[in-house]
Structures are given as C-alpha cells and as structure tokens.
C-alpha cells in the first residue's frame, strides 16, 4: 500500500525552546494539536528517546474518537524531535514518522515539519488541512507574550 509525505515550513515569533516545549507538554499539546472541530486528550507521555506517547482526538460534532501513539526516536532540546505515529484502529495501517526541526532566526524560530508514511487511506489534502489548522493554533499559543 502506498504512503504519502507532507512538509510544512513556518517562522514563529517565539524562541525555539518554547516551540519545542509545546510539542512535549501534554497540556500544550491538547490546546494546539487537535485540528478545528476536535478536542484532544493525552493518555500517556514519556518524553525521552525510546519513551512512548498516546493521545486521542474526539470530533465534537459526533463524538467519534480516534487514538494514536508512538515512540520518541530523537529529542534534541530546542532543536529537533522525531517520533513515530500509529493509529489504534487498524483501518489506516502502517507507521508514520514525523520530524520537527527548529532553528533560531532573527525574528523567532524557523519550524520545519516532515511527516512520512501517511497511509493511503488519508487524503494528502486532508492531512495538509489538519496540519495547517494545528500550526495556526501552535502559533497563537507560542507567540503570545504574557508579562511576568
């Protein structure tokens, strides 16, 4: 069965350490990662190489939930994350790999995401749409400047 790859590039007005933390903090993840119309829940998160995570998205309109999880393959604080993803439902088979690269730039952080191994059952445009919504929510979370 064929698989797909999506790539994203953004510049965020936030330090790399804050963006990195948003990918590993369960409370941050449920705020930005679920696309519009979904809520999120982190069931397990062991943020270390070889550690596992598991979360689920629930569609607010009909209550349908899909759960997924994987393993952290690489974690370099403030620079890079690489992890696997696999759906609990065997319908979309296979294992995806996501690589997140962060690079400090003059106005914040350059963010590059590559997700590979997307099951053929997931249309690439749907994957793009979901990530675009999630990344907009990520920007709103990490770019906020809140005085001490």
Residues 7 and 10: their CA atoms lie apart, in Å, by 10
Q: In what order do the strands lie in the sheet with 52-59?
A: 3-12, 108-119, 96-105, 80-87, 65-76, 52-59, 38-45
Between 1 and 101, where is the model more confident?
A: 101
pLDDT single digits (tens) 138-147: 999 999 988 7
What's residue 121's pLDDT?
84
- Mean pLDDT value of segment 69-74: 97
pLDDT single digits (tens) 9-29: 999 999 999 999 999 999 999
Domains, in order of start, for the chain? 3-142 (3.30.530.20)
Q: Do 127 and 6 contact (CB within 8 A), yes or no?
A: yes
Read out DSSP for 41-96?
A: EEEEE--STT-EEEEEEEETTT--EEEEEEEEEEEETTTEEEEEEEESSSSS-S-E
pLDDT at 72 over 70: yes
Position 1 confidence tier, pLDDT thresholds 50, 70, 90: low
What's residue 148's pLDDT?
73
CA-CA-CA-CA torsion sign (71, 123, 103, 133) = negative
Read out DSSP for 89-118?
A: SSSS-S-EEEEEEEEEETTEEEEEEEEEEE
- Mean pLDDT value of segment 58-87: 96
- Three-state secondary-structure class, residue 131: helix
pLDDT at 122 over 90: no
Q: What phi and psi, each to the nearest 5 degrees, are found at residue 22?
A: -65, -25
Residues 83 and 19: their CA atoms lie apart, in Å, by 16
pLDDT single digits (tens) 30-49: 999 999 999 999 999 999 99
Question: Mean pLDDT over all residues of the chain?
Answer: 93
């Amino acid at each position: 069965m064929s698989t797909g790859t999506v790539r994203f590039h953004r510049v965020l007005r936030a330090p790399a350490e804050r963006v990195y933390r948003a990918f590993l903090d369960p409370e941050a993840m449920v705020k930005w990662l679920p696309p519009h119309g979904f809520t999120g829940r982190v069931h397990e998160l062991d943020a270390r190489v070889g550690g596992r995570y598991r979360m689920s998205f629930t569609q607010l309109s009909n209550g349908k939930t899909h759960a997924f999880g994987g393993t952290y393959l690489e974690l370099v604080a403030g620079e890079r994350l690489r992890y696997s993803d696999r759906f609990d439902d065997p319908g979309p088979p296979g294992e995806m790999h996501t690589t997140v690269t962060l690079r400090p730039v003059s106005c914040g952080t350059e963010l590059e995401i590559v997700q590979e191994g997307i099951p053929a059952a997931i249309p690439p445009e749907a994957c793009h749409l979901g990530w675009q919504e999630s990344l907009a929510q990520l920007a709103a979370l990490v770019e906020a400047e809140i005085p001490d």
